[in-house]
Amino acid sequence: MKKFKGIIPALITPYDCEGRISESGTRHLVRHLLDKQVDGFYLSGSTGEGFLQTVGERQLFLEIVADEVKGVVPIIAHVGAMDTATCVELTKHAARSGADAVSSVAPFYYKHGQEQVRGHYLDIAMAADIPLIIYHFPAMTGVQSTVSFYKELSKVENIVGVKFTSKDTFELQQLIEACGPDFRVFNGPDECLLAGLAVGCCGAIGSTYNIMPQLFVQLYRTFQAGDLVAARTLQAQANRVIAELLKYDFIAFEREILHLQGIEVGTPRKPIQQLSEEERLQIRLFAEQVDFLRINTVEE
């Protein structure tokens, strides 16, 4: 489990001009991020628009990424869905297709009790011989599982960690302490990466790591080296970009930045925001002022 650490982009899913998964765009983005020395990939989660894709598309995307990565860094395949059967199907496919772990949000929309959520995770964990990293995202799922809930599940052999997407660092610290040093806890909110590392996260899975990977890799390594002052400076730089991102849908913003960086990933699927020409211009004008975004300033 020690290989699950560091900076892991929640990968954007590239689409072609007809809205289909783009193999060439996927390979380009993966190679680009590997060149920036990221520590893994998280597929088909919120950033990857997994909930807007068919099961077949999610399976295809994993197969392309796994073929491009070739085991250089770990791959975590998000298998979350509203129903357990789909999660189990995706988990079995992930185990066959080269993923190193799977991950899942709690079942959402219907108001399930904790027993049903627990059973859902246990079914995923037992579906195949592949580790499960739970995806804690109460703001989106409406499921606010407790520290004691995670402590209990941490004792299940195949449940190895949690992606904690919440800004409650007190709860995060309590969870890390309760589950023990071998349980892999990843920070979720990119704007709180330094705080998450400070309370003991082994690394982070984040969305904006697609557009500023080198900055976050440097932040992680700077923190590991004990230079807290420099790490704070890097977090502040990242947060200035995130503050601008919050004016738009985050997926639409990141896709536009990748386009400006010369990486074609297409537009998000509706009903996600489709940027107007004016919005695209404003994003370009902002990005041109941020050296570490390294956009192509040649007019299209």
Terminus-to-terminus CA distance in the chain, angstroms? 45
Specify if 256 maps to a domain: no
> Token pair for residue 262?
């010369």
* Whether the predicted pLDDT of 276 surpasses 60: yes
State pLDDT tens for residues 100-124.
999 999 999 999 999 999 999 999 9
**∠ at Cα 43 (101, 111), nearest 5°?**
85
Interior angle at CA 108, CA 102 and CA 109, nearest 5 = 155
What residues contact 39, with CB distance under 8 A and at least 6 apart? 5, 6, 7, 8, 73, 74, 203, 217
Q: Would 268 be classed as within a structural domain?
A: no
pLDDT of residue 299: 42
Q: Are strands 41-43 and 75-78 parallel, antiparallel or unpaired?
A: parallel
Residue 77 lies in a domain: yes
Q: Is residue 286 part of a domain?
A: no
Residue 197 is assigned to a structural domain of this protein? yes
Q: Does the pLDDT of residue 254 top 50, yes or no?
A: yes
How far is it, in rounded angstroms, from Cα 148 to Cα 154?
Answer: 10
**What is the number of structural domains in the chain?**
1
Domain of residue 210, residue span:
6-227
Q: Is 217 part of any domain?
A: yes
Looking at residues 62-75, what average pLDDT do you find? 98
Q: What is the CATH number of the domain that holds 191?
A: 3.20.20.70
pLDDT above 90 coverage of the chain, percent: 94
Q: HSE-up of 274 (CA within 13 Å, CB side)? A: 4
> Mind listing the pLDDT tens digit for each residue in 140-152?
888 888 999 999 9
pLDDT band, very low/low/confident/very high, at 294 (cuts 50, 70, 90) = confident
Q: Is pLDDT of 297 > 70? A: no
Between CA 14 and CA 3 the distance in angstroms is: 26
Residue 263 counted as domain residue: no
pLDDT tens per residue, range 138-185: 988 888 889 999 999 999 999 999 999 999 999 999 999 999 999 999
Average pLDDT score over the chain: 96
pLDDT at residue number 300: 39
Residues marked active site are found at 135, 163
Give me 240's structure tokens: 């200035």
Q: Which pLDDT score, from 0 to 100, does residue 223 have?
A: 98
Distance CA 198, CA 209 (A): 19
In a domain? residue 43: yes
